[in-house]
């Protein structure tokens, strides 16, 4: 009997999601002769039973290079804690996970592939616990998902952030300015570290290493004394000072995490005071999530998507595909949902320090 599988893209989008969808569809149809349908708007669309999109080889054309996700994404919908608006306008939280399971049955799906970050994988794991037949594909620009060396979307975000540093450097040099670039990454400093080193930053502030701006001021002063009158400072959105806290521009509520952002400007104004130099701040924001995926992200997303279909064929419910070294492997979802942080004492940070980069 022909199998019918669904694919859903959960959480925020990331460049490479469309390449995953394409790889799933091509592998499932060509290798196994299965039908594939897309569930729109992540778990929100699943719970609401929104009409699915039939996916077949012909509508996969031109998808490799396209950013975003053709299925739409929602980083709110958690069927175990869904926010509902009551008739009187008040809000309540409801567990609608059993309804989500019923929708999977209503759609006639034999299995579901979910591409997402830690939040999506945590939901998938709980649904598998209730009997759902789900496998996972790791996605996030933050690269903070456990048990995979890298997630797709990360390379594109690093590319964007590095390009921004390259551009900031030329104008910083002309004006003898200190340029602060705030990048995304949530509670992990991967984007800041890799883009910072690749873009020649003088200081990189990451969540894993609480910072002291006096150290950054000293670094800038020593650069000035050596005749270099500009500097580049990269600040991860989740970075925090020693004895201080990260900055949120949107507070979390009702079990929903707040939105990080604003540390770049705080760092910028303190540096302006201590340096007496001109400081300018750039917040890169969602530019890092948009646009065409890099070839490396298209390649990784394609490997993940294809491997996920083989996992379905093997009925490995509750597992996620992952990259370890050069190998595609599978890991249990519960192992993947921990946050992968930069090791403050590891070789990558040490290498950056060896180059003279300070971490505050």
Residues lying near ligand F6P in the complex (CB under 6 A) are found at 12, 75, 117, 140-142, 184-186, 237, 259-260, 289
- Tell me the closest approach of the beta carbon of residue 183 to ligand F6P, in angstroms: 8
Within 10 Å of residue 206's Cβ, how many Cβ atoms?
Answer: 29
Catalytic site residue 44? Answer: no
CB of 156 to ligand F6P, least distance (A): 12
User: Closest CB to ligand F6P among 117 and 268?
Assistant: 117
Catalytic residue among 142, 147, 202, 297: 142
What are the backbone angles phi and psi of residue 124, rounded to the nearest 5°? -60, -45
Contact 201, 165 (CB under 8 A): yes
Nearer to ligand F6P among residue 228 and residue 259 (C-beta): 259
- Residue partners of 173: CB distance under 8 A and separation at least 6: 229, 230
Tokens of 134: 């789900």
CB of 26 to ligand F6P, least distance (A): 27
Where are the extended beta strands (E) located within 248-342?
Answer: 248-250, 259-260, 279-283, 319-324, 327-332
**Shortest Å, Cβ 186 to ligand F6P:** 5
Residue 334 · residue 184 · CB < 8 Å: no
CA distance 230 to 25: 50
Residue nearest to ligand F6P (CB): 184
Phi-psi domain of 60 (left: phi exceeds 0; alpha: psi -120 through 50; beta: other): alpha
Please tell me the distance from the alpha carbon of residue 190 to that of residue 307, in angstroms, as a whole number: 25
Q: How far apart, in Å, are the Cα atoms of 9 and each of 4, 14, 38, 74, 265?
A: 17, 10, 9, 8, 33
Tell me the CA distances in angstroms from 229 to 172, 198, 200, one per residue in order: 8, 20, 15
Nearer to ligand F6P, 37 or 336 (CB): 336
Q: Output the smallest distance, CB 346 to ligand F6P, in A.
A: 21
Residue 83 beta carbon to ligand F6P: minimum distance, rounded to whole angstroms: 15
Per-position DSSP letters for 63-107, written without gaps between them? -TT--S-TT---SS--TTSEEEE-TTS-EEEE--HHHHHHHHHHT
Residue of 45, 44, 61, 62 lying closest to 53 (CA atoms): 45
Which sequence positions are flagged as catalytic?
142
């Amino acid at each position: 009997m022909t199998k019918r599988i669904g694919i859903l893209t959960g959480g925020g989008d990331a460049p490479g999601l469309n390449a995953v969808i394409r790889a799933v569809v091509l592998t499932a149809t060509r290798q196994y002769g299965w039908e594939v349908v897309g569930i729109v708007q992540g778990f929100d669309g699943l719970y609401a039973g929104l009409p699915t999109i039939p996916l077949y080889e012909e509508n996969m054309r031109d998808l490799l290079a396209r950013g975003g996700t053709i299925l739409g994404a929602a980083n709110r919908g958690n069927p175990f804690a869904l926010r509902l608006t009551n008739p009187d306008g008040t809000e309540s939280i409801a567990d609608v996970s059993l309804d989500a399971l019923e929708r999977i049955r209503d759609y006639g799906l034999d299995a579901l592939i979910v591409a997402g970050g830690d939040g999506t994988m945590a939901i998938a794991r709980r649904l598998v616990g209730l009997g759902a037949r789900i496998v996972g594909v790791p996605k996030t620009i933050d690269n903070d998902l456990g048990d995979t060396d890298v997630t797709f979307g990360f390379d594109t975000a690093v590319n964007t952030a590095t390009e921004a540093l390259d551009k900031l450097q030329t104008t910083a040099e002309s004006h003898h300015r200190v340029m602060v670039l705030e990048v995304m990454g949530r509670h992990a400093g991967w984007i800041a570290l890799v883009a910072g080193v690749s873009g020649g930053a003088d200081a990189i502030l990451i969540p894993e290493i609480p910072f002291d701006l006096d150290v950054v001021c000293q670094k800038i002063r020593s650069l000035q004394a050596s005749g270099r009158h500009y500097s580049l400072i990269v600040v991860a959105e989740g970075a925090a000072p020693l004895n201080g806290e990260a900055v949120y521009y949107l507070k979390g509520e009702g079990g929903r995490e707040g939105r990080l952002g604003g540390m770049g400007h705080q760092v910028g104004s303190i540096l302006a005071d201590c340096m007496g130099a001109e400081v300018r701040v750039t917040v890169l924001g969602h530019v890092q999530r948009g646009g065409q995926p890099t070839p490396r992200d298209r390649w990784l997303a394609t490997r993940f998507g294809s491997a996920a279909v083989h996992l379905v064929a093997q009925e490995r419910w509750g597992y996620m595909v992952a990259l370890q070294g050069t190998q595609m492997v599978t890991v249990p979802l519960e192992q993947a949902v921990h946050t992968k942080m930069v090791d403050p004492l590891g070789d990558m940070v040490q290498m950056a320090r060896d180059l003279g980069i300070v971490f505050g």
